């Protein structure tokens, strides 16, 4: 099996190229054909025809669309992603500056909700129909149905405004220049509420998947046999059943890495978190074409890569899967 | 491609076990108290949505009282900043939320059935091409796309429903395709083929009905997902402003969240309850159609 | 005009009549706070940090290449203009300590301060002024490029401290368009030789002459400035540090203000006045000007190219059908006043009250519509109008739909994002009614004329949306712009206001005011200016 892996990976990566190209082309036309002209936004409430014409020429917006698309793709191949209108800086730099906060928020949220979710799922599966399971299930249902932005606001009202335990917004304290550990703890305090908001849905999903998967596995013949032989339940759960039960969890975690890029828009806005989701929202409002294209390129690439990695992880966990 | 690689990405994958369509599924469904509660809630919301014009006559977006009044006998859920009745908005808002949820799920399921069915049934290059298309749609970030489209082209209900329907279908298509691939080799299909049944007949008579349960479960989960996305867009002010929806109400409530809790609390709860109800029903259907789990006594 | 004083708050509230009791109560509460504090208020102190919330990320700090509100709110504190504007928007010295105007009104001579240095220590000279205008402002600052580009003949620098601007004809409004927002001066020695100043690295490490110096920028998060110890204005600035914090949600910004994470909020919405009322530990101020625009009037345009809006009676009827008191109370929450015409009442030099008024009168509206032959059909609808508007005006859209509906006019209320709405109204001209926040600017020549001049009927944003064409009005604007005598100018503008309110090509709804909220230990902000923190100080400054 291992021998097939490089070929499989190569094939998947090659397949990804037309996929990405498609994403770029579709988004390019979507963005450029939409009403609204970035030049007017740049001009504010001033400007006249000569000014608009000069700016259009400067940003290459005077050329026919297919030519603009061609030039853009040519640039991408050479690692040039253009200049953001609003930031008046290379798109690459603008995105790079916003990536660490998003990755921090996403990463902490995914790790935390996956670990806690698997644990809760195991607890539930091992105590079916217990009060513990019932309450966890009700909680996951509520978590699954709760609009994230609404939950975020409730958390702010309760824990930040009323109780004052956590800050209302931002990633660092604006007044203090913390260094070292103090800075880390400052960021952690700012991270608490947005991570909680962002994790609820994912936590609910992982908990339910683990519970369902594990219950199913535990009902299978091999578990019964092991149990009949007198093996203690925890060992059965840990050694065999959990491994199989986690397969769907891997898929969902993989997919959520893709959606957490996007799922962060509302959370980032509510908590004034300086991440990519907000950057996209701002870029949309300001018709910042090159920046929008750059973000789509990044998100598309990350989703495709995540899919490949997920599939490989799946295969590693489940020997029945073969690369074809 | 192995079937495990084609598991749905974004839904609770129902265990694709041995889907026997039995007349007993309804009995199994009503035996679960949670499913019954969910169904009752959902029917209540649907009734409210249908009867809104009679329950709360008049335009919910016309001011009829003093602004920002807390709940009182005259306005049981209070009024908003323009003196409009929150209860009346809530009742009318149920229509938009349910409509968006149902229409999205219907579109996604129909497109998914066509794509997944063709791919699973014909295989070869049809399968290959359609699966590439599916991957392509999966790579488009849905919420980003929704923000851009509603910002650029305006957030009419039609736009939102089409956009969501046309991005929700890949999970349906993959699910159905996987089902078909596994069902095609089952005894009863092989038997039908052996007695000379035509392939299209096998597909529509034997395979599709048996493959539908997980697809329908998936569709019911999509209802909840679409309702939440519509609410998120409306919260950003990108929804359909011509009709009141719960997300629209939450958006309007923003500046008043500290002084008029009723503006934000009730639409939020309505959203929460509706999505929970939808998910309970989906769970109930899943368990009812997937007897392995519920019938298996595990002690 | 900038009612920081309790007395002017009260006067304003009392003038408003019984409908504004709510506003009065609020103002009383707010007014009490500074009066109590005033008894023990010490002298201004030096030191302390001010944290300011802004709604979006500035992205760069070159105020000469943009008219963007956020960029100016942040960058203006690091730069200066030749001339500043006081609270009444009257010119006061800034980089220029004095000036002379030739008798024919064509030549302006500015005498620069000799003691000004750039933040990097280089001396500031007239060459910087010439360079800023010729190479940057007239090319990239859209308002200055459009406003001065056509009329400015030359800029001469006879010596290091003298700048002479010559115009093609008499040009009255110049002094009001040279402040740090309209014409910030940037360093020649930094930008000279850079091919494209809009993408220059220097835009991220700004070097200015202003009261604060750049320290650090965390994109999307915050911008940190510190006091310029060598600032040319004696004793200023008083604060040690100013930190701008990006908080996109206005609601979060106010919560951060309440919790003490932020001291000053630019992005307060009128709806939040209710919330401020519930927080007596915060102060509010209103200002009719800001780096985003001065003296703004929420104005509705009729598309005069569409029937039946070309009929005067129909326009008058619609104006009478609008309950602007309710808009002021329920949308603006009292922040502003009902507009009477095209020039803001706050522009005291040129405002005229001698105009036709259109009080709320639905009965009269229906009579006028009947007279115009627009009678209700079986559904009670006389007429259907399409009203596309930016989503920032959603609340107006809802009220207007309700109020016009009451007289039998169905409104198709289309909410779009700001950019798409601009496109639809000004480029596609696909509307019956439109709404724009037209800002007068410090002089009518800056922001009033463009709305009514028939030569400005063209497919560019914020032009003459109604397509109103009246040669008499065009001629009056021309004369007013080239007349230096203030009384004569005022007479021309009074006549313009009389004609426009009689013709009603537009409906002037509300003169809006910007609302700022801040923590009470801070004092002496210039709320109307990009230099808002130049004189500010805090009681919490370390001794």
Percent above pLDDT 90 for chain A: 5
pLDDT digits (tens, 9 = 90+) for A15-67: 888 888 888 898 888 888 877 778 877 777 677 778 888 888 888 888 888 89
Give a yes or no: residue A9 inside a domain: no
Mutation target among B8, B38, B134, B143 for the A interface, most CBs of A within 10 A: B143
Q: Does residue A188 surpass a pLDDT of 90?
A: no
* Contacting C residues, span 129-158, partner chain A, CB-CB under 8 Å: 139, 141-147, 149
Sort out which chain B residues have CB atoms less than 8 A from A318's CB and list them: 4
User: What pLDDT is stored for residue A258 in this prediction?
Assistant: 65
Q: Does residue C391 surpass a pLDDT of 60?
A: yes
CA distance A219 to C22: 67
Nearest to A218 among B138, B257, B298 (CB): B298
Give a yes or no: residue B87 inside a domain: no
Q: Which two tokens stand for residue A71?
A: 């030039």
Cα–Cα nearest to A172, from A147, A191, A200, A158: A191
User: What pLDDT is stored for residue A234 in this prediction?
Assistant: 63
Q: Does residue B220 surpass a pLDDT of 50?
A: yes
Sort out which chain A residues have CB atoms less than 8 A from B140's CB and list them: 23, 26, 300
Determine whether the interchain pair B255/C414 forms a contact, defined as Cβ–Cβ distance below 8 Å.
Answer: no
Chains that touch B (3 or more CB pairs under 8 A): A, C
Give a yes or no: residue B44 inside a domain: no
- Domain count within chain B: 1
User: What pLDDT is stored for residue A239 in this prediction?
Assistant: 65
Give a yes or no: residue A72 inside a domain: no
User: What pLDDT is stored for residue A233 in this prediction?
Assistant: 62
- Domain count within chain A: 1
User: What pLDDT is stored for residue A248 in this prediction?
Assistant: 74
Give a yes or no: residue B60 inside a domain: no
Examine residue B116 and say whether the peptide bond preceding it is cis (omega within 30 degrees of 0): no
pLDDT digits (tens, 9 = 90+) for B241-298: 778 889 889 888 887 887 888 888 999 999 999 999 988 888 888 777 765 443 332 2
For residue B89, count CB atoms less than 10 angstroms from its CB and return exposed for 0-12, middle for 13-18, buried for 19 or more.
buried
Nearest to B5 among A216, A252, A321 (CB): A321
Give a yes or no: residue A66 inside a domain: no
CA distance A194 to A263: 12
CA distance A157 to B100: 30
pLDDT digits (tens, 9 = 90+) for C493-541: 999 999 999 999 999 999 998 889 999 999 999 998 899 999 999 988 7
Cα–Cα nearest to B253, from B131, B7, B86, B137: B86
Give the chain A residue nearest B17 (alpha carbons): A216
| N-term to C-term CA, chain A | 10
Give a yes or no: residue A124 inside a domain: yes
Q: Which two tokens stand for residue B137?
A: 């749609």
pLDDT digits (tens, 9 = 90+) for C174-218: 998 899 999 999 999 999 988 888 888 899 999 999 999 999 999
Cα–Cα nearest to B100, from B18, B162, B34: B162
Nearest to A147 among B132, B231, B279 (CB): B231
Q: Tell me the H-state helices in chain A.
A: 5-33, 38-43, 49-58, 65-77, 91-126, 131-145, 148-155, 180-218, 221-228, 233-236, 242-245, 247-271, 276-285, 289-317
As a whole number, the mean pLDDT across chain B is 80
Ramachandran angles phi, psi of B12, nearest 5°: -70, 110
pLDDT band at residue A263 using 50, 70 and 90 as cut-offs: low
Domain extent for B149: 98-260
CA distance A114 to A118: 6
Give the chain C residue nearest A177 (alpha carbons): C224
The CATH number of the domain holding residue A101 is: 1.10.3720.10
Give the chain A residue nearest B292 (alpha carbons): A216
**Average pLDDT in the B213-240 region?**
86
Domain extent for A302: 93-317
Nearest to A324 among B1, B147, B153 (CB): B1
User: What pLDDT is stored for residue C322 in this prediction?
Assistant: 96
Sort out which chain C residues have CB atoms less than 8 A from B258's CB and list them: 255, 275, 278
pTM of the model: 0.81
Q: Which residues pair with C211 in a beta bridge?
A: none
Chains that touch A (3 or more CB pairs under 8 A): B, C
* Contacting A residues, span 20-49, partner chain C, CB-CB under 8 Å: 34-38, 40-49
pLDDT band at residue C41 using 50, 70 and 90 as cut-offs: low
Which residues contact residue B235 at a Cβ distance below 8 angstroms, ignoring those fewer than 6 apart? Answer: A147, A149, A150, A266, B247, B250, B251
Q: Is A103 on the interface with C (CB under 8 A)?
A: no
Cα–Cα nearest to C181, from C134, C130, C154, C141: C141
Give a yes or no: residue B23 inside a domain: no
Which residues contact residue C325 at a Cβ distance below 8 angstroms, ignoring those fewer than 6 apart? Answer: C19, C338, C360
Give a yes or no: residue B27 inside a domain: no
Give a yes or no: residue B83 inside a domain: no
**Average pLDDT in the B96-108 region?**
93
pLDDT band at residue C38 using 50, 70 and 90 as cut-offs: very low
Give a yes or no: residue A182 inside a domain: yes
Residue B92 Cα, gap to closest chain A Cα (Å): 19
* A249 against C167, higher pLDDT: C167
Nearest to B144 among A205, A215, A299 (CB): A299
The CATH number of the domain holding residue B233 is: 1.10.3720.10
Q: Which residues pair with C537 in a beta bridge?
A: C523
Give a yes or no: residue A324 inside a domain: no
Give the chain B residue nearest C249 (alpha carbons): B254
User: What pLDDT is stored for residue A125 in this prediction?
Assistant: 84
- ipTM computed for the complex: 0.83
Sort out which chain B residues have CB atoms less than 8 A from C332's CB and list them: none
Residue C361 Cα, gap to closest chain A Cα (Å): 34
Sort out which chain B residues have CB atoms less than 8 A from C249's CB and list them: 254
Q: Which two tokens stand for residue C309?
A: 């809006």
**Average pLDDT in the C223-240 region?**
92
**Average pLDDT in the B53-57 region?**
81
Q: Is B269 on the interface with A (CB under 8 A)?
A: no
- For C429-441, the three-class secondary structure string (H helix, E strand, C coil) is CCCCEEEEEEECC
SS3 call for C418? helix
Mutation target among C249, C252, C275 for the B interface, most CBs of B within 10 A: C275
């Amino acid at each position: 099996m291992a021998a097939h892996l490089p070929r499989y990976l190569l094939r998947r990566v090659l397949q990804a190229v037309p996929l990405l190209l498609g994403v770029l082309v579709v988004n390019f036309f979507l963005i450029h054909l939409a009403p609204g002209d970035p030049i007017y936004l740049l001009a504010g409430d001033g400007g006249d025809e000569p000014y608009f014409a000069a700016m259009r020429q400067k940003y290459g917006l005077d050329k026919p669309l297919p030519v603009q698309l061609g030039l853009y793709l040519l640039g991408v191949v050479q690692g040039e992603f253009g200049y953001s209108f609003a930031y008046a800086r290379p798109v690459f730099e603008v995105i790079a500056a916003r990536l660490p906060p998003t990755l921090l928020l996403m990463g902490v949220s995914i790790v935390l909700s996956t670990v806690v979710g698997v644990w809760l799922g195991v607890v539930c599966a091992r105590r079916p129909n217990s009060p513990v399971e019932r309450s966890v299930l009700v909680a996951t249902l509520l978590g699954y149905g709760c609009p994230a932005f609404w939950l975020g606001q409730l958390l702010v009202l309760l824990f930040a405004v009323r109780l004052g335990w956590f800050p209302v917004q931002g990633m660092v304290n604006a007044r203090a220049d913390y260094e070292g550990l103090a800075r880390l703890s400052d960021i952690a305090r700012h991270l608490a509420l947005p991570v909680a908001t962002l994790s609820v849905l994912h936590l609910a999903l992982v908990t339910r998947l683990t519970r369902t998967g594990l219950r199913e596995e535990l009902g299978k013949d091999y578990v019964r046999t092991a149990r009949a032989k007198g093996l203690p339940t925890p060992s059965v759960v840990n050694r065999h059943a959990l491994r199989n039960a986690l397969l769907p969890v891997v898929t969902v975690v993989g997919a959520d890495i893709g959606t957490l890029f996007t799922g962060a828009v509302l959370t980032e806005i509510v908590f004034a978190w300086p991440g990519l989701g907000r950057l996209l929202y701002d870029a949309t409002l300001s018709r910042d074409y090159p920046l929008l294209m750059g973000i789509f390129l990044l998100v598309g690439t990350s989703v495709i890569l995540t899919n490949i990695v997920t599939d490989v992880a799946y295969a590693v966990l489940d020997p029945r899967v073969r690369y074809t | 491609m192995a079937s495990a690689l084609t598991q749905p990405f974004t839904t609770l994958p129902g265990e694709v076990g041995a889907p026997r369509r039995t007349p007993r599924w309804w009995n199994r469904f009503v035996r679960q108290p949670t499913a019954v509660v969910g169904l009752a809630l959902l029917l209540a919301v649907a009734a409210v949505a249908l009867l809104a014009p009679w329950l709360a006559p008049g335009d919910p977006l016309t001011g009829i009282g003093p602004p920002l009044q807390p709940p009182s006998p005259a306005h049981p859920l209070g009024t908003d900043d323009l003196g409009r009745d929150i209860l009346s908005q809530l009742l009318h808002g149920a229509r938009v939320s349910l409509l968006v949820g149902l229409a999205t799920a219907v579109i996604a399921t129909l497109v998914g059935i066509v794509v997944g069915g063709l791919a699973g049934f014909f295989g070869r290059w049809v399968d290959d091409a359609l699966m590439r298309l599916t991957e392509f749609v999966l790579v488009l970030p849905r919420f980003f796309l929704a923000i851009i489209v509603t910002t650029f082209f305006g957030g009419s209900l039609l736009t939102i429903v089409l956009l969501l329907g046309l991005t929700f279908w890949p999970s349906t298509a993959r699910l159905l395709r996987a089902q078909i691939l596994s069902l095609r080799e089952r005894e009863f299909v092989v038997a039908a083929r052996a007695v000379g049944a035509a392939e299209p007949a096998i597909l529509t008579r034997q395979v599709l009905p048996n493959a539908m349960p997980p697809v329908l479960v998936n569709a019911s989960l999509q209802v909840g997902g679409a309702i939440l996305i519509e609410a998120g867009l409306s919260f950003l002010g990108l929804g359909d402003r011509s009709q009141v929806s719960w997300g629209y109400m939450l958006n309007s409530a923003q500046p008043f969240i500290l002084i008029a809790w009723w503006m934000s609390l009730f639409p939020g709860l309505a959203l929460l309850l509706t999505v929970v109800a939808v998910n309970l029903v989906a769970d109930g259907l899943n368990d009812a159609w997937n007897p392995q789990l519920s019938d298996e006594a595990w002690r | 005009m900038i009612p920081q004083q309790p007395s002017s708050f009260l006067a304003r509230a009392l003038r408003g009549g019984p409908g504004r009791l709510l506003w009065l109560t609020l103002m009383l509460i707010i007014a009490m706070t500074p009066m109590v504090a005033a008894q023990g208020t010490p002298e201004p102190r030096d030191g302390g940090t001010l944290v300011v919330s802004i709604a979006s990320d500035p992205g760069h700090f070159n105020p000469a290449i943009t008219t963007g509100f956020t960029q100016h709110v942040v960058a203006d504190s690091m730069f200066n203009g030749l001339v500043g504007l006081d609270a009444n928007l009257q010119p006061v010295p800034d980089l220029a300590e004095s000036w002379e105007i030739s008798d024919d009104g064509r030549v302006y001579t500015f005498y620069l301060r000799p003691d000004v240095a750039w933040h990097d220590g280089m001396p500031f000279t007239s060459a910087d002024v010439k360079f800023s205008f010729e190479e940057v402002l007239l090319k990239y600052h859209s308002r200055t490029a459009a406003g001065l580009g056509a009329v400015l003949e030359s800029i001469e620098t006879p010596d290091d401290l003298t700048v002479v601007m010559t115009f093609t004809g008499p040009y009255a409004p110049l002094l009001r368009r040279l402040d740090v927002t309209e014409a910030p001066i940037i360093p020649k020695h930094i930008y000279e030789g850079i091919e494209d100043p809009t993408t220059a690295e220097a835009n991220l490490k700004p070097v200015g002459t202003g009261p604060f110096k750049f320290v650090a920028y965390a994109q999307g998060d915050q911008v940190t400035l510190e006091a310029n110890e060598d600032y040319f204005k004696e004793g200023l600035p008083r604060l040690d540090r100013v930190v701008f914090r990006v908080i996109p949600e206005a609601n979060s910004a106010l919560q951060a203000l309440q919790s003490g994470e932020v001291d000053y909020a630019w992005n307060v919405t009128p709806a939040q006045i209710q919330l401020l009322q519930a927080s007596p530990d915060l102060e509010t101020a209103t200002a009719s000007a800001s780096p985003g625009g001065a003296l703004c009037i929420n104005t509705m345009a009729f598309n005069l190219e569409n029937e039946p809006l070309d009929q005067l009676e129909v326009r008058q009827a619609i104006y009478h059908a609008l309950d602007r008191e309710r808009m002021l109370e329920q949308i603006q929450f009292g922040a502003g006043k009902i507009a009477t015409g095209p020039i803001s009442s706050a522009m005291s030099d040129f405002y005229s009250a001698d105009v036709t008024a259109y009080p709320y009168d639905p009965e009269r509206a229906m009579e006028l519509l009947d007279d115009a032959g627009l009678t209700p059909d079986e559904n009670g609808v006389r007429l259907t109008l399409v009203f596309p508007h930016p989503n920032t005006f959603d609340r107006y859209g809802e009220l207007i739909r309700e109020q016009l509906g009451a007289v039998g006019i169905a409104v198709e209320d289309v909410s779009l994002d700001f950019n798409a709405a601009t496109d639809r109204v000004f480029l596609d001209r696909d509307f019956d009614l439109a709404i724009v926040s037209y800002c007068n600017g410090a002089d009518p020549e800056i922001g009033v004329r463009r709305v009514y001049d028939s030569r400005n009927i063209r497919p560019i944003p914020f032009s003459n949306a109604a397509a109103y064409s009246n040669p008499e009005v065009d001629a009056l604007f021309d004369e007013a712009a080239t007349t230096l005598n203030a009384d004569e100018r005022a007479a021309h503008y009074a006549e313009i206001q009389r004609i426009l309110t009689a013709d009603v090509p537009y409906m002037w709804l509300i003169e809006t005011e910007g609302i700022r909220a801040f923590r009470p230990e801070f004092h002496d902000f210039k709320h109307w200016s990009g230099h808002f923190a130049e004189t500010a100080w805090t009681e919490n400054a370390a001794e």
